[in-house]
Chain A
Amino acid sequence: NAGVTQTPKFQVLKTGQSMTLQCAQDMNHNSMYWYRQDPGMGLRLIYYSASEGTTDKGEVPNGYNVSRLNKREFSLRLESAAPSQTSVYFCASSVGTTRETQYFGPGTRLLVL
């Protein structure tokens, strides 16, 4: 039982390049989330998908797009990467309500030069 998986684990981009971070969960969860973690800032919500077919902005959505491909998969796209997007990105999933635990993936470390 893999839980939440993320690919890639590490990526280096040049300013202006694009890339997609992939996330998949095998727990049949309804809700999925993308966070970024920066020193001194904690975890900040970028986008979330409360259920298949819906997506909503979180605290820091600028510069990102998301796709809820199906119930299992939720991808995060950087169309034109900027150094300010250097961060560790975490995907998470939950059954659907805040009273349910969010399960996190291992993270993707992104460096934008």
Chain B
Amino acid sequence: DQQVKQNSPSLSVQEGRISILNCDYTNSMFDYFLWYKKYPAEGPTFLISISSIKDKNEDGRFTVFLNKSAKHLSLHIVPSQPGDSAVYFCAASDKGSSNTGKLIFGQGTTLQVKP
């Protein structure tokens, strides 16, 4: 049972346009969400996070939006650059895991930004 779902395996956008990556979750106890980025042959690296007490968090070109009622979050990249081409993983944790660092990851979305 996939608690964190990224239903779009891939996304292709033009350089300079907006990229929107989506993530849905089923566990209402999740209270902290993260996005990780992964290049081929490398480990994932942290990108941005959001607590459930917020509905938006911004860091440069990256913004994460959280809609708790819909159990949905999205990552916006504006403007998209070719170097953003990577696999993006959504992850979540619940309060019960706050002392262990345990995360549940989605399946990942492969973003391709075309020059």
Name, among B42, B44, B89, the residue most crowded by chain A CB atoms within 10 Å (CB to CB).
Answer: B44
A95 vs B103: C-alpha distance when bound (angstroms)? 14
Interfacial chain B residues near A74, Cβ < 8 Å: none
Contact A42-B107, Cβ < 8 Å, known A90-B44, A105-B43: yes
Say yes or no: A106-B43 contact (C-beta < 8 A), given A40-B9, A42-B108, A99-B32.
yes
Please determine whether B44 and A31 come into contact, CB atoms closer than 8 angstroms: no
Name the prevailing secondary structure of the B interface residues.
Answer: loop
Closest beta carbon of chain B to A85's beta carbon, Å: 19
Asked if A58 is at the interface of the complex by the 8 Å CB criterion, the answer is: yes
A42-B6, A43-B44, A92-B43 given; A100·B101 CB < 8 A: yes
Which residue of chain B lies nearest to A30 when distances are taken between CB atoms in the complex?
A: B101
Contacts of B106 in A (CB 8 A): 42
Number of contact residues on A: which range applies?
20 to 34
Could you mark each residue 91-109 of chain A with 1 if its beta carbon is under 8 Å from any beta carbon of chain B, else 0?
0101111111111111100
Check if A4 sits within 8 Å of B43, measured CB to CB: yes
Chain A residues proximal to chain B, CB less than 8 Å: 4, 31, 33, 35, 40-45, 48, 50, 56, 58-59, 90, 92, 94-107
14 A-B pairs within 8 Å (CB atoms) are namely A4-B43, A31-B101, A40-B107, A41-B107, A42-B4, A42-B108, A43-B44, A43-B108, A45-B105, A50-B101, A99-B49, A103-B43, A106-B43, A107-B41
